Structure 1
Amino acid sequence: MTLSATAAVTPDQAVLVDLPSNRVPEGARPGYFRTEDNVRLRYATWPRAAEGHKGTVCLVHGRTEFIEKYFETIEDFRRRGFAVATFDWRGQGGSERLIGHPHHGHVERFEDFWLDLKSFHRQILLPECPPPFYLVGHSMGGLASLFAAANDRMMFDRVFLSAPMIWLPNQPLPPAGMAFFTRALGFLGLSQMPVSRPADRPPSRQAFEGNPLTSDLERYMRTVDVYAARPELEVSVPTLGWAAAAMTAMAEVARDDFPARIRVPVLMLAAACDRVVASAATEQLGLRMRTGRHVVIPGARHELFMETDAIRAQVFAAFDAFVTEQSE
């Protein structure tokens, strides 16, 4: 089926895909900014859609994800009185690619995501968005958010994480061992080689049955529709370089001294039926953190914000108790 798409465009030609199945929320201001190391990233901001002044939700995505995937969730935050600011990580979505193959997810080191977030905070959040700032991160974005909480306790008042990528299921070695092994392969010149697992299958109507991401067909198909309208947004399998960067970051989180570095209130949600990340690792970290805790959402798959209404209601009840009610 051919999909017609319109676009919200700024003078520098940043585009948000607007589809009948996935409308751009009103008031969008998309654009580009450059990180401190000169990588061009696509971003968008929205004003609040309700009375009151609650601050800004800074929303950071998981691997392969993009701004358009979160339109419904952005509206949920705006209706609660929050402005929203979000961006596409380097190497995915509408941001600059780092290697010649545009559909392979790649990063040289996980610290580069911290650089993306720092640059966004300095260039977009501070000058353009109302404080206080609340960081909401999903999956890979959740792992990056933990490092933000550990590196700078002044950037965000609270951190809310959805199925954070603290560890991956069915790995043959513990975190430190996997980090060493994947880095060693990178030193052999294999860092741009693609690697894959069943959870990395590209979305399609045929792939919905039994998929590890969500049990909600309509929300699942929004990603399929956006890819059909704008194929260049798609990122499929990660590279070995991405895997080495991620394993190294997860190994650092697994260290005994990491939880004490986090001095910002953190709430982590784990999906009980997650096959993409290891929910048990989220529970273990939650028990080790002084300023954080965790909640397990029963019956949920990995993408908590893309799940059924009943599961999303639990997610937003947790968000309201942890953020919304604290901002009033």
Structure 2
Amino acid sequence: MPFDLLDEHHYAESMHNIVLPALRSCRDEGWMEASAPAGGKAHGRNAAGGGISGNQQSETAGKLHYVCYDAERFDGLHLNEASARFRGAIVIAHGFTEFAEKYDEMVWYFLLAGYSVCILEHRGHGLSARDISDPSLVWIDDWHRYVEDLSHFCTDVAQEYAGGSPVFLFGHSMGGAIGAAVLEQYPTIFDKAVLSSPMIAPRTGLPLWLAPMIIGGACKVGMSRRIVPGHAPFAPQIAERDYQRASAPRIEWFQSLRKRHVEYQTSAATFSWVNQALRMSRSLLRQSMCDRVETPMMVFQATNDDYVLEKPESQFVQQVQAGGCYAELVRVEDSRHELFGMPNEAMAPYVKSVIDFFDATVHISVND
């Protein structure tokens, strides 16, 4: 990794004056059709506000929003730290309650390393279609829709930006789980994958064996669209716990984005979302599904993760290895769930490991 991370002491200034102008020069925005629910047509609506005009809302209603960054146009800026070699496209699958713009810093590093970047905002997130009017809540009726949406995005959009070169996956948290499901169900889409704190199983406050019965029962009695206990609507103030083991400038930057855009203020799960996350977890951990994985992967595990369970992450890696595919578990000590939001001394080796893994051209086998 021949470049330095952004200076945390001048983080906002660097983002405004260096990173964002460069990203705007190579940024494309688009919309794609959402997958249809079982037995019905795709439907949805965009959250109000955020500067979307009435005409735009009518044209994009029920569709999924994405942004892409073209490495060739970025290279035209002739930045000293940028790689002159195009290496392919990286698909970023964001986490629960996140949005594309949150990954601007990671996009910057990937572009510097010679990769185009494509980000789909999952249903119920960002500017993409929603099925619930409260912008704080995330609801989904079937987790398979996330998987179908991401797989179609990769084949229809990301392949174009790759231009025949490899397509890689960088999936965080919920996006890591969705990406893992794509690796199981569509084994040839990605050439390599990095799963960062993947939500192989979410923390619910209940034992993993009991949670499906409690959450599923709540959905059956009409609580599908209600907020789950322990979650809350968006609050503009940053909670003290959010600063623990984190880079304060990065956390404050993320929050500033949320405060400016109502579409970015998703902050809480509904019972249906948790129910579907648990169903996805059970599918991910079936050995028969892990046996289908063909894509070499690195799985980064945070050792102080408040959102996903560590043991299922480790189990997933072991089962993929047992199925004959290369999978490496990297434990990041004294780290938080959002590994890309840590201070530079912790984030630098993380970013380097991710890019080095994507850069490696040798074939990785389970016997290496």
TM-score range, shorter chain: 0.7 to 0.9
Match of 1:23 among 20, 41, 58: 20
> Secondary structure in 2 aligned to 1:257?
helix
Residue of structure 2 in register with 1:40 after alignment: 63
C-alpha contact 1:214 1:302 (8 A) present in aligned 2: no
Q: Distance in 1 between matches of 2:340 and 2:99?
A: 13
| Contact persistence 1:57–1:82 (CA under 8 A) | yes
In proportion to residue count, which structure has more helix? 2
The residue type paired with residue 31 of structure 2 is Y
Tell me the CA shift for residue 256 of structure 1.
Answer: 3.9
Match of 1:100 in 2: 133
- Pick the aligned partner of 1:89 from 97, 112, 122: 122
Which of 90, 99, 102 is equivalent to 1:66?
A: 99
Q: Does 1:297 align with 2:296?
A: no
Q: Which runs of 4+ in 1 moved over 6 A?
A: none
Out of 254, 257, 268, the position equivalent to 1:237 is: 268
Q: What's 1:11 paired with?
A: none
* Conserved? CA contact 1:110–1:249, under 8 Å: yes
Q: Secondary structure at the match of 2:118?
A: strand
Q: CA deviation at 1:120?
A: 1.0
Q: Secondary structure at the match of 1:289?
A: helix
SS of the aligned residue for 1:153 comes to coil
Partner of 2:242: 211
Change in 2 beyond 3 A, CA 1:73/1:327: farther
Give, in whole Å, the separation in 2 of the partners of 1:162 and 1:213: 18
RMSD: 2.3
Query: Given that residues 214 and 304 in structure 1 are in contact (C-alpha distance below 8 angstroms), is that contact kept between their aligned partners in structure 2?
Result: no
Partner residue in 1 for 2:109: 76
The Cα shift of 1:137 comes to 0.2
SS in 1 for 2:117: strand
Q: Aligned pair count? A: 307
Q: 1:221-278: CA deviations, max 9, x gaps?
A: 1121112221232101110010100011112223343322222111100011111112
Asked if the contact 1:214/1:220 (under 8 Å) is kept, the reply is no
Structure 1 unpaired stretches of 5+: 1-18
- Which residue of 208, 216, 223 maps to 1:174? 208
Q: Distance in 1 between matches of 2:253 and 2:202?
A: 26
Report what 1:259 is aligned to. Answer: 290
Tell me the equivalent position of 2:187: 153
> Would you say 1:316 and 2:351 are equivalent positions?
yes
- The residue type paired with residue 153 of structure 1 is P
- Whole-Å separation in 2 of the counterparts to 1:286 and 1:128: 29
Report the CA distance between 1:218 and its aligned residue.
Answer: 0.7
What residue identity is the alignment partner of 1:303? Answer: E
Amino acid at match of 1:301: R
TM-superposition CA deviations, 1:103-156 (whole Å, max 9, x none): 211111111101210221233123344331001100000000111100111110
Correspondence for 2:175 among 137, 141, 151: 141
What letter matches 1:311 in structure 2? Answer: A
Return the TM-score normalized by structure 2: 0.77
Distance 1:212 1:163, change over 3 A: farther
Unpaired runs of 5+ in structure 2? 1-14, 37-41, 43-61, 76-82, 364-368
* 1-structure distance, mates of 2:248, 2:161: 36
Aligned runs of 1:268-287 on 2, under 5 Å?
Answer: 268-287=299-318
Q: Distance in 1 between matches of 2:314 and 2:180?
A: 14
CA contact (8 A) 1:63 1:141 kept: yes
Deviation digits for residues 271-304 of structure 1 (CA, Å, limit 9, x no counterpart): 1111111223222322232221210011210001
**2:244, 2:200 → 1: CA distance?**
17
- Change beyond 3 A, Cα 1:189–1:103: same
TM-score, normalization by structure 1 = 0.86
Secondary structure of the 2:227 match is coil
Q: Conserved in 2, the CA contact under 8 Å of 1:62 and 1:141?
A: yes
Which sits farther off after the overlay, 44-53 or 240-249? 44-53
**Secondary structure class of the residue paired with 2:16:** coil
